[in-house]
Structure 1
Amino acid sequence: MSTPEPDRPGRERRPDASMSLLRELLENPLDGGYRAVAARRQGPRPVPWWQRVLVVVGCVAIGLGSVWAARELRAPASGLLPARTLLVEQIDERTTEGDALSTQNARYQAEIEALEQAGLELVDEDLAAQLERLAVPSGSVGVAGEGLVIELQDSAAAQQGAPGSEEERVTDVDLQVVVNALWASGAEAIAINGRRLGSTTAIRRAGEAILVNLDPVVSPYRVQAIGDPNRLQTELTRTPAATHLDVLESTYNISVAMSTEESMRMSALTGVAPRYAEPLGGRGSGVPPSGSDDGPDDRDEGVG
């Protein structure tokens, strides 16, 4: 704290001489210690050379690490491509093996049918004729003839896997509607992508795949129906399936094509086991005996 200066002769007295403390606060607001620190901080502080070298080396290391990481992430894993190639090869091998076994089964099935027919003709010709008539709708024998073909294909967006195009795919319900309408229109035999349908055939969806007789089928779905083509087309337009197909094409961009063929061949449905139903009350009775609570345990399922 400064003390007031004494008045000297010949020197004019300041008006604020008695307020030296306030004058000091106004003229020198910064404390002496802070003033000294501020004086030392004026101007850039020199950086040692080794710190500069360390910063440059760190930047180079970070840049090289980023480039290496980007290359490693973009490059395929070393074992991924061989594993995928091996998987594709195994799928092709199993598919070829399955096709060969299917051909062999069809040949054996034809031999079995010939032997059964010959044996039945020796025992009962009427029974053999009846079985022959029922063999076509049941799918137990191969058939050939003219008919109608309906082809359904997923929309272009669904085939490319575009977001929001899930509803533009053909579903198992769509195939069920078409197949049931063809049966009602007088079709004698039906197949989807070469899979023959029978009276107990199921068309179901498993995840994103559609199964026909537990065999997966993919788009485009080619539904073949043997019968009079003109009658099939006429009767089909009178069923709800005609409106259903129009909605699929106009609303969901699903391709629907219909054509006729003069000659089609369908192999027999493998694994068909003949079954016979009898009334629970005995032969000739269509109701269960009185007092019995038992009812039919099983019910034959139609297509779908």
Structure 2
Amino acid sequence: MSEQQRAGRQRSAGRGDDPGESRRIYTPDFLTELFRNPLDPGYADAAARRAQTGQPARPGWSVGPVSLTVVLLLGFLFAVAYRQTVAEEPGRAQARSGLVAQIKQRQGETDALSVRADELREEVNRQREAALGGTQAARLRNLEASTGLGRVRGDGVVVRLADGPAGQDSLSGANVGPSQVLYSDLQWVANDLWDAGAEAISINGQRLTATSTIRSAGQAILVGFRPVTGPYEVSAIGPDSMRKRYESSRSALTMRKVAQDTGLSFGVRDADDLTLPAAPEPRLRYAEPAVSPSASGSVGDAPSGSGTSPSPSGGGR
């Protein structure tokens, strides 16, 4: 094939049979061609077919009377809702401020009553020791210390837990809240301290007894019925080997791993001359047998076949 024939074929490949029809020339540079002709050839072909057949173009989006009425009605409702929300905001802010003030007042009254209760308890203890004598008073103090109803002093350890700093999610990169200490973490630490030989434990000054509970109420952690906030210090009085035994416990190993992964603060240190306060005196309940009156109206034994079960009563000390 001669050079003239090759040139003729190349020129004929660059145009169609119809001299008025232009064809896309594909070049090796795909990005350049994409920016030069961004519209797909199918759209141009469809427009050409509509022009040849005389088919009208599709109408654009139009708003009818019903749609316009619905849009106006929705706009009116949004405006009314916004106006009502803005108008009620001062009242809500005032009510919120009043509730906050009442909460602070009640907390102050509760703290003052707690201080007064401690003072009265100390006075009762002095009067009781004076009345009982040395041996009986010492035995009573030991019992109170072991049950949590008496203040104790001694050497021990302090386990400190605190929420971690706020960070970012590793996948989305969005800001996430801090890694928080859970009530179950405090339960776990306290149980392992008891197992390590602790003789007395308190959490942020709240003494633990056999009837104490560590639970959550919403976002707050309650020890007994008193809320505690971070950082949390679990203080324990016990033998010298207590820290070594606790360091090898499951809660210590797990919390150290959690602290390493999430930034939560966890630490154990020795503490000399710790003073743990006494727990509030519990309200005791006593079971009493239920007495059923006989047929003659006198109090006696229950009829045969009718069992009686003790029911608790609200008696106090």
Q: Same fold (TM over 0.5)?
A: yes
Q: TM-score, normalised by structure 1?
A: 0.58
Determine which of 131, 134, 143 is the counterpart of 1:134: 143
Q: Match for residue 181 of structure 2?
A: 170
2:255 maps to: 245
Report if the CA contact (8 A) 1:152-1:257 is conserved: yes
**2:6 alignment counterpart:** none
Q: Distance in 2 between matches of 1:73 and 1:259?
A: 53
Shift of 1:253: 3.2
Q: TM-score if structure 2 supplies the norm length?
A: 0.55
Deviation at 1:73, TM superposition (A): 6.2
Aligned residue runs from structure 1 range 82-97, under 5 A: 82-97=94-109
Q: Is the 8 A contact 1:137 1:199 kept in 2?
A: no
| Residue correspondences, number | 211
More RCO (CA 8 Å, sep 6+): 1
CA RMSD, aligned part only? 3.8
Rounded Cα–Cα distance in structure 2 between residues aligned with 1:138 and 1:156: 38
Where structure 2 has 5 or more consecutive residues not aligned to the other structure, the ranges are: 1-74, 168-173, 287-310, 313-317
Distance in 2, matches of 1:66 and 1:142, equals: 62
Distance in 2 of aligned mates of 1:93 and 1:75: 29
Which amino acid in structure 1 is aligned with residue 232 of structure 2? Y
Q: Which residue of 2 aligns with 1:114?
A: 126
Q: Which residue of 1 aligns with 2:93?
A: 81
Q: Which amino acid is the alignment partner of residue 156 of structure 1?
A: P
Candidates 215, 234, 245, aligned match of 2:244? 234
Q: Give the secondary structure class of the aligned counterpart of 2:114.
A: helix
Match of 1:266 among 267, 273, 276: 276
Structure with max Cα Rg: 1
CA distance in structure 1 between the partners assigned to 2:176 and 2:120 by the alignment:
47
Contact 1:106 1:267 in 2 (8 A): no
Separation of aligned partners in 2, 1:263 and 1:94 = 33
Match of 1:52 in 2: none
Partners of 1:93 and 1:83 in 2: CA distance: 15
Q: CA deviation at 1:274?
A: 8.1
What percentage of residue pairs aligned between the two structures are identical? 35
Distance 1:69-1:204 versus aligned 2 partners, 3 A rule: closer
1:100 aligns with 2:89: no
CA distance in 2, matches of 1:198, 1:67: 58
What is the alpha-carbon distance in structure 2 between the residues aligned to residue 97 and residue 75 of structure 1? 35
2:149 partner amino acid: S
TM-aligned CA deviation for residue 67 of structure 1: 9.7
